[in-house]
């Protein structure tokens, strides 16, 4: 529905539409600032659960209660689908698979990561540490953030993917076909699932109504942790993915957090405008004087740029990549730290 077609449907009305299609939101608690994560029960054959919530007793208990409210138990799940590599979306997957015997499906490129979760997160931390030092974050903050990251790992758990999914392939259930679409940006493995006949997109964190999905700078799947001049351009990648999603004809988007989305094109257009505004603001800071990405983050967000250093670094570098692409700034490395300057 576009804005000129009248009032947008309420959250309850949108969830009712999804339920009529056999798709039920199960909001599972997480320990993270983003709040609850949306898992989706698809009442079809096989009985399917998209995402699981984090690896915690509280999440498991509430998931069991939510399933029971629909007349199901964990043991009834036949197919568990994982949308991407963030622990709030797959942390319980190994427990659910073991208890139910369900197949575990995920993007084929994600499968090795999930199967070797501990080793892969070690490589992720090495990548992040080198990137933070290269872009001006003080070593003591990098050390502290490395310890925080290690403490968070228990919210995830390795799981064997028994059904790898190729991008563009069809995940066939009895009463629907879900098209598997790779939409990297927020993470390298973001996967959305399109219920083509109903115009419903199960979008996970690719598109969220109440917050902008942060395109985190992440080690490419299967890559060595060596961030150099060819660092991943997460925001540029993400915006290209959003362009693909904007072109789709959709009735309803079911996100990984928060309320459903009725007008995805209008929301995506607003996100593009937001990124343009932020890039222009960063351009003005660089024009005033050369700065490292961390110095830009501190100028924009103050103390938040310290406590949330990797998030804000990802945000800055994403928008600097837009400026680099457009030939507005250049980067220079001195003493192992990169600074950006006006062209």
Task: Round to whole Å and give the CA distance between 327 and 340.
Answer: 12
Question: Residue 3's pLDDT band (boundaries 50, 70, 90)?
Answer: very low
Exposed/middle/buried for residue 143 (C-beta within 10 Å: 0-12, 13-18, 19+): exposed
Q: Does residue 318 form part of some domain?
A: no
In a domain, 292, yes or no: no
Q: Which residue has the tokens 């209660």?
A: 65
Assess if residue 125 is contained within a domain: yes
Report the number of distinct structural domains present in the chain: 1
Cβ neighbours of residue 342 closer than 8 Å, sequence gap 6 or more:
283, 286, 287, 290, 328, 329, 330
Q: What is the strand order of the sheet 252-255 is part of?
A: 170-172, 177-182, 191-195, 200-204, 252-255
pLDDT of residue 146 exceeding 90: no
Q: What is the pLDDT of residues 208-248, one digit of tens each?
A: 999 888 888 999 998 877 755 578 999 999 999 999 999 99
Q: 107: domain range?
A: 3-263
How many other β-carbons are positioned within 10 Å of the β-carbon of residue 258?
A: 17
Instruction: Give the separation between CA 214 and CA 315, rounded to whole angstroms.
Output: 7
Q: Is residue 44 part of a domain?
A: yes
pLDDT of residue 227: 53
Tell me the residue ranges of DSSP E strands in the chain: 23-28, 37-42, 48-50, 79-81, 103-107, 163-165, 170-172, 177-182, 191-195, 200-204, 252-255, 329-334, 337-342
List, for residues 29-50, the tens digit of each pLDDT value: 999 888 999 999 999 999 999 9
Within a domain: 249: yes
Q: pLDDT > 70: what percent of the chain?
A: 97
pLDDT digits (tens, 9 = 90+) for 177-204: 999 999 999 999 999 999 999 999 999 9
For residues 162 and 86, give the distance between their C-alpha atoms in angstroms, rounded to a whole number. Answer: 19
- Cis check: omega of the bond before 46, within 30 degrees of 0: yes
Residue 300 lies in a domain: no
Q: How confident is the model over 250-270, as pLDDT tens digits?
A: 999 999 999 999 999 999 999
Look at 215 and 20; give whichever has higher pLDDT: 20
Give helix 293-301 / helix 264-288 axis angle, nearest 10°. 110
pLDDT in tens, 58-109: 999 999 999 999 999 999 999 999 999 999 999 999 999 999 999 999 999 9
CATH number of the CATH domain containing 10 = 3.60.15.10
Burial class (CB in 10 A: 0-12, 13-18, 19+), 32: middle
Asked whether residue 279 is domain-assigned, the answer is no
192-206: string of b/e by CB count within 10 Å (b at 16+)?
Answer: bbbbeebebbbbbbb
Quick one: tokens of 256?
A: 């990984």
> What 3-state DSSP class applies to 203?
strand
Confidence of residue 151 (pLDDT cuts 50, 70, 90): confident
| Cα separation, 221 vs 270, whole angstroms | 29
Residue 43 lies in a domain: yes
pTM greater than the 0.85 cutoff? yes
């Amino acid at each position: 529905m576009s804005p000129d077609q009248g009032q947008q449907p309420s959250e309850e009305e949108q969830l009712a539409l999804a339920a009529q299609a056999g798709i039920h939101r199960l909001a599972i608690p997480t320990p993270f600032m983003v709040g609850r994560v949306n898992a989706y029960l698809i009442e079809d054959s096989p009985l399917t659960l998209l995402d699981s919530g984090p690896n915690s007793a509280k999440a498991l208990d509430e998931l069991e209660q939510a399933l029971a409210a629909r007349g199901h138990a964990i043991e009834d799940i036949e197919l568990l689908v994982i949308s991407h590599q963030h622990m709030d979306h797959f942390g319980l997957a190994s427990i659910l698979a073991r208890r139910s015997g369900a197949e575990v499906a995920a993007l084929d490129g994600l499968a090795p990561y999930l199967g070797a979760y501990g080793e892969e997160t070690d490589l992720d931390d090495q990548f992040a540490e080198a990137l933070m030092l290269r872009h001006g974050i003080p070593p003591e903050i990098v050390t502290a953030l490395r310890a925080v990251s290690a403490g968070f790992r228990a919210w995830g758990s390795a799981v064997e993917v028994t059904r790898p999914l190729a991008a563009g392939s069809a995940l066939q259930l009895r009463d629907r076909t879900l098209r598997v679409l790779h939409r990297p940006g927020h993470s390298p493995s973001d996967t959305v699932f399109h219920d083509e006949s109903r115009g419903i997109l199960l979008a996970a964190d690719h598109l969220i109504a109440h917050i902008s999905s942060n395109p985190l700078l992440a080690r490419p799947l299967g890559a060595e942790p060596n961030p150099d001049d060819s660092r991943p351009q997460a925001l540029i990648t993400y915006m290209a993915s959003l362009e693909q999603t904007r072109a789709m004809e959709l009735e309803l988007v079911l996100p990984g957090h928060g309320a459903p989305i009725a007008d995805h094109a209008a929301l995506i257009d607003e996100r593009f405008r937001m990124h343009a505004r932020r890039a222009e603001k960063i351009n003005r800071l660089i024009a005033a004087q050369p700065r490292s990405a961390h110095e830009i983050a501190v100028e924009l967000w103050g103390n938040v740029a310290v406590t949330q250093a990797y998030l804000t670094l990802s945000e800055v570098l994403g928008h600097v990549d837009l400026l680099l692409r457009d030939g507005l700034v250049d980067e220079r490395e001195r003493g192992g730290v990169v600074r950006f300057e006006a062209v």
